[in-house]
Structure 1
Amino acid sequence: MNTDILLVTLNSSYAHSSFGLRYLYANLKELQERAQIVEYTTARSPRDIVESLLSKKPKIIGLGVYIWNADESLEVVSLLKKVSPETIVVLGGSEVSHESESQKICQTADFTIKGEADFLFYEFCHGYLNLGVLPEKKFISGPLPDIKTIASPYAYYTEEDIKNRVIYVEVSRGCPYRCEYCLSSLDKSVRNFDVTTFLADMQTLLDRGTRQFKFIDRTFNLSPTTCTQILQFFLDRIHLGLFLHFEMVPDRLPTEIRDLIKQFPAGSLQFEIGIQTWNTEVAKLVSRRNDFEKVKDNFRFLSTETGVHTHADLIVGLPGEDLPSFARGFDILSEVGPDEIQVGILKRLKGAPIARHDKEWEMVYADQPPFQILRTKTMNFETLQKMNRFAKFWDLYANSGNFKTLVTTLKERSQTRDDKSFFWEFFAFSEYLSARHSQYFGISLMSLFESAMAYLTEGLQWPAEQARDLILTDYRATGKIDLPKFLRLGDEDVKRKSSPEGDLQRSSLPKRQQRHLGKLETQTS
């Protein structure tokens, strides 16, 4: 069956769904019946993707381009224009909304829509398909759409999406802050959808079986009134076994929000909280505003009085930040109790104002996606390479929840150091792992356990039995039964039945959150 309009993107994995494509489809009006959403992953061969697309005989292909699929998207567009030059290719998405004219993919495609395309894409398709008219300019832009008139995308999540994929939702667009490393710093204001209409859409998703919601609002708790209204809506339905993810402003948790979130079951809420740096001078340089005392108080509240799963972000490579400064920030953050610390490497997002620091702070970025920082005036290439590995090993060991006993032990051991730094304690572990593994991707869980055992016995000179007992605690917590050779003493080959992992409420949560729930149960027992 021929389809005149294909709405296409390459997701990073099958579990992700494209929120943007569903918005475009929802706002195609009378052209909807001539359109289809088609999603692939970046692992799919560009040739296979092009073959699949052209088999539907489209007249227009709208392609969403983002930092995670930029290279693959360029290959797809290049192939499309070589084998089917008559097919009109229109680009959109954050990666092509800025510095567009200089990008090869934009030069190769027929047109690029810059910014929010909810209405602009419809106008393009209507002009071409109904009137036979194409825009005179290759790059298309227009005013921001009136948010109250944008058609809702939620009906276009399929049953397969609801069952198997992340369901993204939003109640606002924009951000009032001006953090220079983020594209949201270009927003002029925050625009809000009608809350009553939004909650009606959420009820429909619930009725269809949705149990996990990921809010993409940059500052969900900016308005306490809206925040509490939405939290109360989900709290009233929490018995369904829900999991909700929000991005929160770290120093903004007034009493009315605190009182609500204390009522949610452990693990049902996840807050992503951007700290980025604890260095006040660096924060000032990149226009990041945080009341650090309030941030500390809020984290302590979340850790000790709620069951919220907290995910805090730090960025390596900001202008003016050196490694000792980052280490101090990491140590402060680890003390206030987030469940996960996401160590990210600075990326140069096209259009982000952080580019103004390039000369003064000697900021050099990679030319290929994800455009990570390579060196700065205060962090050389070698240091940033080490921090790339630190970030990966921290995620594999600490954030995964698979090594809670080991990580707790390393944190306790750090207090015997002269500097009492958990960062430098884990950094030493990371350096050992870097020497042991030629690459830090694709390491099996079994190899991670074996490397941890080796570090305790070789790196820290622990007695083998003491090291084995510690690692065995974490190994058993994963539910594994057979002992691998490196965990056996003599001829021992113990088998132990794993217990069922949690109740129905826990089993509905993402696996990583399930593994972290042990901490919450310990606190409340």
Structure 2
Amino acid sequence: MKFLLAALNAKYIHSNPGIYSLKAYAERQMERDPSDAFGKQEISVELGEYTINNQMGDILKDIYLRKPDMVGFSCYIWNISWVMELVRDLPLVLPEVEIWLGGPEVSYDAADVLQREPGVTGIMMGEGEETFLEVLKLYADGRRDFSSIDGVACRNEKGETVIRPLKKAMDMSAIPFPYEDLDDFEHKIVYYESSRGCPFSCSYCLSSLDKSVRFRSMELVKRELDFFLERRVPQVKFVDRTFNCSKKHTMEIWRHITEHDNGVTNFHFEISADLLDEEELELMAGMRPGLIQLEIGVQSTNPDTICEIRRKTDLNRLKSVVERIHGFGNIHCHLDLIAGLPYEGYESFRNSFNEVYEMKPDQLQLGFLKVLKGSFMAENAKAYGLVYSAKQPYEVLGTKWLDYGSLLKLKGVEEMVEVYENSGQFTVTMKELVKEYKTPFDLFSDLAEYYESHTLTGASHSRMARYEILDGFVAEHIPGKAAVYRRLMVYDLYLRENLKSRPDFAEDQTPFKDQVREFFAEEAVKHRYLSGGYEGFEARQLIKMAHLEVFAGKTAVLFDYRKRDPLSYNAAAYVIEDFFH
């Protein structure tokens, strides 16, 4: 018999650690106890990873050709619509197949799902490793009544819906390391779990339902981190909900990756910044630039909102810590905000945005509240006047404090932040442009209105087109400084890459052609600026490898593409003081 565990990921670069963990746990137990539990019928477990961007017909075809006896789908808010399409089509082409569902999107309304979907055999609720193993054992034993297994929702022999209680929290160290090799993970993010559960009670988050924080054995964790380090994995993303909720656990892992740093691997952590103490900060200060990156959920700076959503955040401490981290210059830092929370109206969110922007994050991630099944937020929706989409991902449409029209404005701000801030392509330009406005939020709001009024919203624009649009925006809003901002945009363009074609708004470089040639001819001999990999190249080759731009006819800047900032990936830039001498 074959059980296929299927995942529909949001993007190709993603993977689903859940199905890998289920497979690894089941196979370890089968190896340890092959005769008693699995003696009557041989059973195998296969994995199938797809994306929601695949054609559903292609996924259906692949599953059909694999000829599984059972299929289990991993269900989340971003893929449930596609999963249900497959759930309804699979029995038409594989009439005997039995379908199982698992994951947060079906764990909190399992009875309703079973009632709606007659093609579903059962649902594995909550943590799935032990539940999946027991389901496999029954299949191997030739039985089909799963109504005695904790963690399962199913129909009994009479066709009645049975909802069993969830299993007790697992011992994290009992779960095998899911990565035997990394051949299937080339060009993909590798996810890793060193703990489960969360000590906090954020009302919008399902992690708050599991307060039994459990940690994987540090001996296992270090061994598994070495596996990634030895193979020079580009990025390992920890999925621990609040990675630094235990200082001892945090320090051991951070010391280990610092001491065994391979110069390549980046580790991503979601943390609460206000929990960090001086010892942790001192350790972080000495890390290689790019060794770690941090995601910090601020969500709001409105004290009433913070209190209502049950977050325990010391905002003053958080700001102080983020400022310290920014000052280290070695850690890429994301700060998150959520629009649509209780007590957060448009002006309140504007204030939250401005406060977080002033913390100078490398990325400011502006998200919109998702009202998840089973969450405290969903239970209190009526009290908050909270309305949200009936379809996944159940995104907020309005609250007592924030109407739909205001949310649409914030959607425009979000897009502008992604394009002109988080992309990292307008670093110098935006740093100056924000000074023209009373607050950063007002700049992004004006940009969003400009896109809307010029029918630019919703279109797919090239990178160069985004610069041209910004040029038009500046010409309309700050006409006296159009030339200044064109130079800044050219500077930003060359920071990222040695352009093959120059933008129309760039200054003519023809008058400096001979001087540029002379500069590179001298550089090919003396290497005053271009060193470490440029030796042995002639001037004509160096001109193609680096770029020299003259701004306003008086300032020459050399862009070195072999020396890049490990955090921003921008080229090193040098002002050539004696260029005109």
Q: TM-score, normalised by structure 1?
A: 0.90
SS of 1:228 mapped into structure 2: helix
SS of 1:370 mapped into structure 2: coil
1:132 aligns with 2:155: no
After TM superposition, list the pairs within 5 Å mapping 1:57-136 onto structure 2: 57-103=67-113, 107-136=118-147
Provide the C-alpha distance between the structure 1 equivalents of 2:194 and 2:141, rounded to a whole number of angstroms: 33
Amino acid at match of 2:492: D
After TM superposition, list the pairs within 5 Å mapping 1:74-473 onto structure 2: 74-103=84-113, 107-136=118-147, 137-138=154-155, 139=163, 141-161=165-185, 163-414=186-437, 417=438, 421-440=439-458, 442-473=460-491
Deviations 1:153-197 (A, max 9, x none): 333453231x32111111110001101011111113211111111
Provide the C-alpha distance between the structure 1 equivalents of 2:350 and 2:124, rounded to a whole number of angstroms: 42
Deviations 1:387-419 (A, max 9, x none): 1121122011101100102211122222xx3xx
CA positional deviation for 1:285: 1.1
The residue that corresponds to 1:22 in the other structure is 20
Provide the C-alpha distance between the structure 2 equivalents of 1:484 and 1:259, rounded to a whole number of angstroms: 44
1:487 to 505, 511, 528: 505
Provide the C-alpha distance between the structure 2 equivalents of 1:461 and 1:301, rounded to a whole number of angstroms: 37
Once structures 1 and 2 are overlaid, which stretch shifts more, 17-26 or 73-82? 73-82
1:514 aligns with 2:568: yes
How many residues of Structure 1 are paired with residues of Structure 2 in the alignment? 505
Provide the C-alpha distance between the structure 2 equivalents of 1:106 and 1:333, rounded to a whole number of angstroms: 44
SS of 2:466 mapped into structure 1: helix
CA positional deviation for 1:130: 2.7
| Structure (1 or 2) with the greater strand fraction | 2
CA positional deviation for 1:98: 1.1
Provide the C-alpha distance between the structure 2 equivalents of 1:96 and 1:441, rounded to a whole number of angstroms: 35
Change (3 A) 1:292 1:502: farther
1:432 touches 1:459 (CA, 8 Å); kept in 2?
A: no
2:233 touches 2:264 (CA, 8 Å); kept in 1?
A: no
2:177 touches 2:224 (CA, 8 Å); kept in 1?
A: no
Provide the C-alpha distance between the structure 2 equivalents of 1:505 and 1:468, rounded to a whole number of angstroms: 23
Provide the C-alpha distance between the structure 2 equivalents of 1:426 and 1:439, rounded to a whole number of angstroms: 14
Once structures 1 and 2 are overlaid, which stretch shifts more, 189-198 or 425-434? 425-434
Q: What's the RMSD between the two structures over aligned residues?
A: 2.5
The residue that corresponds to 2:529 in the other structure is none
Change (3 A) 1:264 1:16: same
SS of 2:443 mapped into structure 1: helix
CA positional deviation for 1:62: 1.0
Provide the C-alpha distance between the structure 1 equivalents of 2:265 and 2:376, rounded to a whole number of angstroms: 38
CA positional deviation for 1:281: 0.4
Provide the C-alpha distance between the structure 2 equivalents of 1:491 and 1:259, rounded to a whole number of angstroms: 47
CA positional deviation for 1:474: 1.4
Provide the C-alpha distance between the structure 1 equivalents of 2:364 and 2:510, rounded to a whole number of angstroms: 37
SS of 1:311 mapped into structure 2: strand
CA positional deviation for 1:492: 7.2
SS of 1:177 mapped into structure 2: coil
Provide the C-alpha distance between the structure 1 equivalents of 2:263 and 2:565, rounded to a whole number of angstroms: 9
Amino acid at match of 1:408: K
1:148 touches 1:193 (CA, 8 Å); kept in 2?
A: yes
Amino acid at match of 1:224: K
Deviations 1:321-340 (A, max 9, x none): 01111111111112222221
Provide the C-alpha distance between the structure 2 equivalents of 1:106 and 1:231, rounded to a whole number of angstroms: 46
CA positional deviation for 1:311: 0.3
Q: What stretches of structure 2 of length at least 5 have no aligned partner? A: 32-42, 148-153, 156-162, 514-542, 548-558, 574-581
Deviations 1:94-117 (A, max 9, x none): 111112333487554221111110
Once structures 1 and 2 are overlaid, which stretch shifts more, 63-72 or 355-364? 355-364
SS of 2:318 mapped into structure 1: helix
1:168 touches 1:214 (CA, 8 Å); kept in 2?
A: yes
CA positional deviation for 1:316: 0.6
Change (3 A) 1:332 1:517: farther
The residue that corresponds to 1:34 in the other structure is 44
Provide the C-alpha distance between the structure 2 equivalents of 1:464 and 1:336, rounded to a whole number of angstroms: 28
Larger Rg: 2
Amino acid at match of 1:175: C
Provide the C-alpha distance between the structure 1 equivalents of 2:483 and 2:234, rounded to a whole number of angstroms: 44
Change (3 A) 1:320 1:103: farther
SS of 2:312 mapped into structure 1: coil
The residue that corresponds to 2:493 in the other structure is 475
Percent identity of paired positions between Structure 1 and Structure 2 = 27
Amino acid at match of 1:20: G
Change (3 A) 1:116 1:467: same
SS of 1:15 mapped into structure 2: coil
Provide the C-alpha distance between the structure 2 equivalents of 1:131 and 1:198, rounded to a whole number of angstroms: 38
CA positional deviation for 1:93: 1.0
Provide the C-alpha distance between the structure 2 equivalents of 1:423 and 1:59, rounded to a whole number of angstroms: 54
Change (3 A) 1:214 1:156: same
State the structure with bigger RCO (CA 8 A, min sep 6), 1 or 2.
1
Deviations 1:20-51 (A, max 9, x none): 01100111136587111110111111121111
1:410 touches 1:426 (CA, 8 Å); kept in 2?
A: no
CA positional deviation for 1:201: 1.6
2:189 touches 2:237 (CA, 8 Å); kept in 1?
A: yes
Change (3 A) 1:446 1:26: same
1:28 touches 1:122 (CA, 8 Å); kept in 2?
A: yes
SS of 1:426 mapped into structure 2: helix
Provide the C-alpha distance between the structure 2 equivalents of 1:157 and 1:71, rounded to a whole number of angstroms: 32
Q: TM-score, normalised by structure 2?
A: 0.82
1:9 aligns with 2:7: yes
Change (3 A) 1:125 1:460: same
Q: What stretches of structure 1 of length at least 5 have no aligned partner? A: 507-512, 520-525
Deviations 1:272-296 (A, max 9, x none): 0000010000111111110111111
1:273 touches 1:312 (CA, 8 Å); kept in 2?
A: yes
The residue that corresponds to 1:522 in the other structure is none
Provide the C-alpha distance between the structure 1 equivalents of 2:369 and 2:510, rounded to a whole number of angstroms: 47
SS of 1:164 mapped into structure 2: coil
SS of 2:66 mapped into structure 1: coil
Deviations 1:441-490 (A, max 9, x none): 63321221111111011233245433321221112222142445532458
Provide the C-alpha distance between the structure 2 equivalents of 1:502 and 1:344, rounded to a whole number of angstroms: 35
